[in-house]
Structure 1
Amino acid sequence: METRDVASLISKIREKVNRFIVTEMAKNGVDGIGTSHGDIIYALFKAPRLTMAEISKRIRKDKSTVTALVDKLVRLGYVTKERDIEDTRVVHVAVTPKGRELEPIFESISQEMLSVFYSSVSDQEKEDVLRILKKIYDNF
């Protein structure tokens, strides 16, 4: 493997992590949502009510993509949407009780994924890889 293969390797790791997460969600009875949906729900665990613009910024996806993802989560009953009373252009998204039930499942899957992800990786290597990946990310 050559240093020029790093972007391909990162992409393959991302695919494996996403596949792992989706498989584990299915094992826990959570079907029909992908990792991008999970990003939105996870953001709402931290702040139970966000605007579409805030979600877009937090998960680093464009607003049209976020709209489609949120609409599916609404149909599945995990979140609600409501227009702002003062500015009807603004849409607020909130996690529902059904969505809140996903929190321990997401946390368990996250811990399991990180355990696999960092298996045989030292604490120093974890810090190094994070530092290097942040540098690469900032290059774009």
Structure 2
Amino acid sequence: MSLNRHQSAGYMTNWAARLFARAIDQKLKPLGFSSGYLPVFFALADGGARTQKQLARDAGIEQPTMAATLNRMERDGLITREKDSEDRRVTHIRLSPEARENAKDIQAIVDQVNEAALSGLNSLEQRVFLDALGKVTTSLAKAEDEDDPKPDDQ
């Protein structure tokens, strides 16, 4: 049996993700930010508020991981939490004013790393690559949804 990691979509995607995270983390560190915060940051960048459950769903992150991420972000002064005025069990999460002030710098860093990552591809290859990644993630998400038991199935 011959295994070639360079011919494995999963391995290469994971490797690329680790390299992206390292590059972004290195540039975000001076802002007190990390790549692990980016899914929350992008979900809240429009200035709106979301619940933890909405953030976990939108980011595709498990609830316990999202809870830990939000706790770290709150500790670092990057988010605020507000109880819902009508249902005190519901908490709305927003980016803090400090995080919003850094939004342009964070976006610029992400753009810079993405540009560097795609620099070896021409514009057509970049579009094809991003389109293909979109199809891969859609296929994997669909397969995951099909594999998850529905409440009625239990």
TM-score range, shorter chain: 0.7 to 0.9
Secondary structure of the 1:139 match is helix
Q: SS in structure 2 opposite 1:80? A: strand
Give 5+ residue unaligned stretches, structure 2. Answer: 141-154
Q: Which structure 1 residue ranges, 5 or more long, are not aligned?
A: none
Q: Deviations over 1:80-105 (max 9, x none)?
A: 11221222332100111111122122
RMSD: 1.9
Aligned residue number for residue 9 of structure 2: 6
Query: What amino acid sits opposite 1:14 in the alignment?
Result: A
- Do the aligned partners of 2:44 and 2:50 also contact (CA within 8 Å) in 1? yes
- 2:80 aligns with 80
Identity of aligned residues (%): 19
SS of 1:126's equivalent? helix
TM-score (norm 1): 0.86
Q: Is the contact made by 2:6 and 2:12 (CA closer than 8 Å) also made in structure 1?
A: no
Q: Do the aligned residues in 2 keep the contact of 1:56 with 1:63 (CA within 8 Å)?
A: yes
Larger Cα-atom Rg: 2
In the comparison of the two structures, how many residue pairs are matched? Answer: 137
**TM superposition shift of 1:4:** 4.0
Q: 2:27 is matched with which residue: 24, 29, 46?
A: 24
Matches within 5 A, 1:1-140: 4-26=7-29, 29-31=30-32, 33-140=33-140
RCO higher in structure (CA 8 A, sep ≥6): 1
